[in-house]
Structure 1
Amino acid sequence: MRRRSLLAASGAAMLPAAPARAEGAVDLLLVLAVDVSRSIDDDEARLQREGYRSAITDPRVLEAIRSGMMGAIAVAYVEWAGSDYQRLVIPWTHIGNQAEAQEWAAMLERAPRVALSWTSISGGLDFSMRTLSESPFEGTRRVIDVSGDGVNNSGLPVEQVRDRVVAEGVTINGLPIMNDRPTFGRPSPVPLDHYYRDSVIGGDGAFLIAAEDFESFGNAVRRKLVREIAGLAGPIFG
């Protein structure tokens, strides 16, 4: 259907691993896979992280989390660039209340940031899939949430990796950033949201929500998280 690395040594410092929970049943295993390629400058990187921090602590997101059968989700935060660079910035973290959400946001604020290389959405998806396989939690649904401002220009064809991930029962949702600043590498042959629709997202209920620019990124993340956590069906373009 159409819709359906080893950790790099450079800049690969990781935060301490979150302890595994024997009772780790959650409603959703969610990998936030975030573009840090060189098309993302320092201001954009700051806005991107602030968007995730504010969204995960938003009362509407927390309400969606508490509304699930387990009342909790588990989140891993991954950053990716070229095919040779992916890292687990924040390991699997249980989020079921305001305090856990605030601590997750604080970890993201403290984490060092690296920007380099090309844009390998396929490498990010591959690494995210391995991250899912290593989760200490058990989730009723598994989702990879990909955000970025460019097309795949490094590594395997993204469609090939997308289809392999979807075949494992994982849903890939997208958050393309419709940035009007110059980018590096091969430009998108179509509008970026259409590229994500055709080549990136896939699986049951897959959708995308486009951010018009980095300034509007936080609002787009919040809307997307509410829909993902609630498992809401709807149009591809959210």
Structure 2
Amino acid sequence: MRLSGIIAAILLALSWGDLARAAGEPVDLELVLAVDVSGSVDAVEARLQREGYVAAFRDPEVVRAIRSGMVGRIAVLYFEWASQHESRVVLDWQVVADAGSATAFADRLASEPVLRGRRTSIAAAIDFAVPHFGRRYEGTRRVIDLSGDGPNNDGAPVVPARDRAVAAGIVINGLPIINERQFTWGLPNLKELDLYYRDCVIGGPGAFYIVAEDFESFAAAVKRKLVLEIAGRMPTVQHAQLYPERPMFDAEGRVDCLAGEKLLEIYRRRTEPN
């Protein structure tokens, strides 16, 4: 082969390698797990959340769901979030393709310390998650799995952030944790949180939410949600609590997506000196 032909072959091989790297490693799903560690989540509850995800990735049913995909592997990133300036990647992208890699992910997650924060910025959590997609992997689907026990009350409103993510081709699924106790510093919680997630947080084709009735039932909810998410399915019945008084609903019966901000303002008016 002439020198020019050898050079051309080398350049062609390099160009194909660049294209492969640009496209990213194929996976069935790019999944970002976004976990609330704001002030409403105490140390015990934060640990219960973490243990729920650890248990899920050690579960054979979750592994079977991963293996059932056309590619047979997913990429997972796990981060914890609180206020608009408190988001931290706990585990960067890792491919999970079998029991060994799923257990490795779970073991690494179990060994990491839990971040703690104060307020709740779902909007900032969504905005933090979006740029992480497409960096190393090319998923057939891209999903943010967002769990939390309260509405957005810090930083920008949640709806524009949700809509930007959906416009970028990302689905947001929700795991609202129903927790009717008053927050530790006196701020009232939103008892209609499941419906708030339905109307204000989730979005994109096939988006859904699964309710955790409390922190103790979080692990079971996580497992169910992951199996559905990985398989690209939706739950048969969408759970919704029904309450006799709904002060945070609008005339059309939908949750006010500024409910968290308004609850915070009510709290401030009650606690600030006259």
Alpha-carbon distance change, 144 to 137 in structure 1, aligned in 2, over 3 angstroms: same
Contact 1:142/1:171 (<8 A) preserved: yes
1:72–1:21: structure 2 CA closer, same or farther, 3 Å change rule? farther
Report the Cα offset of residue 231 of structure 1.
Answer: 0.4
CA spacing shift, 1:233–1:38, aligned 2, 3 Å: closer
Cα distance in structure 2, aligned partners of 1:95 and 1:70: 11
Aligned length in residues:
218
Q: CA deviation at 1:179?
A: 1.4
Report the equivalent of 1:109.
110
- Residue 168 of structure 1 is matched in structure 2 by 168
- Contact kept, 8 Å, 1:197 with 1:236, in 2: the verdict is no
* Partner residue in 2 for 1:98: 99
Instruction: Give the match for residue 147 of structure 1.
Output: 147
1:170-225 CA-partner distances (Å, limit 9, x unpaired): 10000000013322586455510000001000000000000000000000000000
Q: CA deviation at 1:90?
A: 0.2
Shift of residue 233, structure 1, vs aligned partner? 3.8
**TM-fit CA distance, 1:23:** 6.9
- Distance in structure 1 (CA, Å) of the matches to 2:97 and 2:155: 36
Please report the TM-score for the alignment, with normalisation by the length of structure 1: 0.86
Where do 5+ consecutive residues of structure 1 fail to align?
A: 1-19
CA distance in 1, matches of 2:155, 2:24: 38
Q: Which residues in structure 2 correspond to 1:62-141 (within 5 Å)?
A: 62-134=63-135, 136-141=136-141
Conserved in 1, the CA contact under 8 Å of 2:180 and 2:190?
no
Query: Greater RCO between the two (CA within 8 Å, min separation 6)?
Result: 1
Q: Which residue of 1 aligns with 2:181?
A: 181
CA distance in 1, matches of 2:176, 2:51: 17
From the superposition, tell whether residues 56 and 21 of structure 1 become closer, same or farther in structure 2 (CA, over 3 Å).
Answer: farther
Give the percent of matched residue pairs that are identical in Structure 1 and Structure 2.
Answer: 54
Give the match for residue 60 of structure 1.
Answer: 61
Contact persistence 2:126–2:161 (CA under 8 A): yes
Which secondary structure does the structure 1 equivalent of 2:44 belong to?
helix
Asked whether the equivalents of residues 51 and 218 of structure 1 are also in contact (C-alpha less than 8 Å), the reply is: yes
Given that 1:210 and 1:220 are in contact with CA atoms closer than 8 Å, whether structure 2 keeps it comes out as yes
Residue 221 (structure 1) aligned with residue 222 (structure 2) = yes
The TM-score with structure 2 as length reference comes to 0.75
Secondary structure of 2:151's partner?
coil
RMSD of aligned alpha carbons: 1.9
Q: 1:39 to 1:141 in 2, by over 3 A?
A: same
Larger gyration radius, structure 1 or structure 2: 2
Could you list the runs of 4 or more consecutive aligned residues of structure 1 that deviate by over 3 angstroms after TM superposition?
A: 20-23, 184-190, 233-236
Q: Distance in 2 between matches of 1:142 and 1:131?
A: 11
1:198-217 equivalences under 5 Å are 198-217=199-218
Give the corresponding residue for 2:27.
26
Gaps of 5+ in 2: 1-20, 240-274
Do the aligned partners of 1:153 and 1:186 also contact (CA within 8 Å) in 2? no
Higher share in helix: 2
Whole-angstrom distance in 1 between the partners of 2:186 and 2:127: 21
1:8-35 CA distance string (max 9 Å, x none) = xxxxxxxxxxxx9997211000000000
Alignment check: 8 A CA contact 2:76 2:96 kept: yes
How far the C-alpha of 1:38 sits from its partner, in A, is 1.2
Distance in 2 separating the partners of 1:208 and 1:236:
10
- In 1, distance between residues paired with 2:221 and 2:59? 12
Residue pair 1:28, 1:140 contacting (<8 A) in 2 also: yes
Task: Confirm or deny: 8 A CA contact 2:182 2:189 kept in the other structure.
Answer: no
